[in-house]
Chain A
Amino acid sequence: MNEELRKKIEGLINSHKVFLFLKGTPEEPQCGFSWKVVETLKGLGVKFGSFDILSDEEMRQAVKEYSNWPTYPQLYLNGKLIGGCDLVLEMAESGELKKLIE
């Protein structure tokens, strides 16, 4: 991955305390897994930044490589990947997500 893309990704994930790469937008997620994570974050009243990876094929590949994580959505907290849909839902259920974000 080139340096420019790496910087772009790091700029994004550090732009908000909570940041989501998803398919579609928080208003209109284009995939059930992205939708579930958006609903979970909204349910917790969490404000988050986001990027629609369907809008940029280069970024779609680069973020997977950056995080060593093959699927979307990907949720970042303080610039660090905390999970995809399964982990986010698991942490939401256990109450861990709320604690982490607060």
Chain B
Amino acid sequence: MLTTEIKIKLERAFPGAKVEIEDESADHAGHQASGAHLAVEIIYGGFAGKTKVEQHQMVYQALKEDLQRTVHALRLRTKEPASEQTTGEEQ
């Protein structure tokens, strides 16, 4: 499974991170040939002190090959463990 493969890859790249992946490809039927649509959420201590842009760049870097081949689109949410507690589900 692609989602399992990506999850393992991210957990290796970001040790101790909490990684959640959802395959949303079915929502994009019609242009599935171009690759999977994944939603990824990563909570990682190593994001501390980084801007959101830098956090996303770290994830893109880790999945560089996959983004060129099997993954067509990535919906990405990155968080630090502490900020999750304070702003997690806040509207």
Contacts and interface: CB of A to CB of B under 8 A. Distances in A.
A33 B37 CA distance: 12
A87 B60 contact: no
Residue among B53, B57, B74, B75 with the most chain A CB within 10 A?
B53
Contact of A69 (B60, B73, B75, B77): B60
B53 A86 contact: no
B21 interface: no
Contacts, number: 32
Interface in B66-91: 67, 73-77, 87
5 contacts: A83-B53, A83-B56, A84-B56, A87-B52, A91-B52
Contacts of A33: 73
A87 B57 contact: no
A46 to B, nearest CB: 19
Interface size, B (range): 10 to 19
Nearest to B51: A82
B12 interface: no
B57 A69 contact: yes
B77 A86 contact: yes
Q: Is the interface of B mostly helix, strand, loop or mixed?
A: helix
B53 A71 contact: no
Q: Which 3 A-B pairs have the closest CB atoms?
A: A86-B76, A70-B60, A87-B52
B64 interface: yes
A82 B77 contact: no
A42 to B, nearest CB: 22
A68 interface: yes
B78 to A, nearest CB: 9
Nearest to A91: B52
Contacts of B77: 86, 90
B57 A86 contact: no
B57 A83 contact: no
